Amino acid sequence: MMRDFSDDHSALALNTATLGHNVEGQGAGWSPEQVIDTCCELGLGGVVFWRREIGGAAVRIGDYARRSGLTVAGLCRTPFLVGPSAPQPRQKMLDDFEASIDMAAGLGAGVLTIVTGGVEPGTKGMGESLKRVAETVAEMAPLADRRGVRLALEPLHPVYGGDRSCLVTVRDAVDLCEAIGHPAVGIAVDVYHVWWDTSLAGQLARAGGQRILGYHLCDWLAETRDVLLDRGMMGDGVADLKSIRSAVEQAGYDGLCEVEIFSANDWWKKPPRDVLQTCIERFRSVC
């Protein structure tokens, strides 16, 4: 039995990427407070920020959200742990990982997203890189746990396999969770990255509700022009949104649904309030 959102969008959360905030020079440039005020006014249940928006103000912004009655559902994200863009040397990556945990804790965000990074230089394929991801996450999980933050491994679409994410399937994400074996480690499920996967429902069932730490909404446009910055609004693409949510909820997830649309040439060009109204309408009708 799926939750009925047809006249209730209190389970909708805004990932501020949807308003273009996390890329320099994009979006309306709203402050975090302005985002929080507008989400509250429009009846959303939560918000997810990016680190560059928060800077040194995590505690202040977290308090502001709580006083406003809005849940800070998560923070994006750790540094890349492996791959060509991971901070070097490794200690620098670990320090930045810890800083991201601190920021999430300061905000009161229960979940910190991990984008793993791509294939480790000097290696080929995913195997060695995934092994190193498991080692690093296992090393940091107790620290995150002590600060009340859970770590969500987010598999990305395989098109990002080389440089952004050696983790490309929910199956591999659940394998990592099992290898790490720490209760503070789970997965994030993003429609954009998993919609094509015909084994999704079975893998989500394997993950179980306790390990699903986030569900991210958007759509895959049939004629995607840019795999990074041309995500679709829910209902405009080819993802079977109701089936995916059904599988996520069947697995035991009952948390917020986070709209996350990177769309440099379309939605980021529209007034944020209109974008949010459309998100609400689509959430109620097609998600």
Residues that bind Zn ion (CB under 5 A): 190, 216, 260
CA angle 83, 16, 66 (to 5 degrees): 115
The half-sphere exposure of 211 on its side-chain side, counting CA atoms within 13 A, is: 23
Nearer Cβ to Zn ion (73/184): 73
Whether the CA torsion 136, 129, 187, 268 is positive or negative: it is: positive
Q: How far is the CB of 123 from Zn ion (least distance, A)?
A: 26
Least distance (Å) from Zn ion to the CB of residue 137? 17
DSSP state of 24: T
Considering the complex, state which of residue 172 and residue 260 has its C-beta at the smaller distance from Zn ion: 260
d(CA 124, CA 185): 26
Query: Closest CB to Zn ion among 17 and 276?
Result: 17
* Nearer to Zn ion (CB atom), residue 91 or residue 241: 241
Tally of CB atoms within 10 A around 25: 6
Instruction: Using the minimum distance from each CB to Zn ion, give the nearer residue, 9 or 77.
Output: 77
Least Å from the CB of residue 124 to Zn ion: 27
Q: How far is the CB of 86 from Zn ion (least distance, A)?
A: 19
- The least CB distance from residue 193 to Zn ion, in Å, is 7
CA dihedral sign of residues 6, 205, 111, 262:
negative
Cis omega (within 30 of 0) for bond into 121: no
Write down how long the chain is: 287
